Amino acid sequence: MKCLFCKQTSEHSTSEEHTVPESVGNKSHILAKGVVCDKCNNYIATKIEKTALETPFFKDLRFRNNIESKKGKTFRENNILSVVSSSTDSF
């Protein structure tokens, strides 16, 4: 089997790739081991998902929806997105 992203052999990969990150509540949409190699899976998790999850949008999403971490802890920080005041000039 070849990795979906880098096309290198991935049949010995041990990690599973979540099609939607587990950190935003996905527990069931998971690709089989070997579809994504460990190197690409690690890159996606550390460089893409981690960066995205540190944004106010995802912090707020996780807080408001009481989404648990892999360790079963809920996200406690409330980073409610700032609301832009509406005015006739903004449209």
**DSSP code, position 85:** P
Q: How many CA atoms lie within 13 A of 37 on its CB side?
A: 12
pLDDT of amino acid 48: 92
pLDDT at 80: 55
pLDDT score at 85? 42
C-alpha 51/C-alpha 75 separation (Å) is: 16
* pLDDT value for 84: 44
Secondary structure of 6-43 as H, E, C letters:
CCCECCCCCCCCECCCHHHCCCCCECCCCCCCHHHHHH
pTM of the predicted model as reported, rounded to 2 decimal places: 0.70
Domain segments of the chain: what residues? 22-90
Mean pLDDT by 10 residues, the chain (91 residues): 95 89 85 94 92 87 83 66 48 52
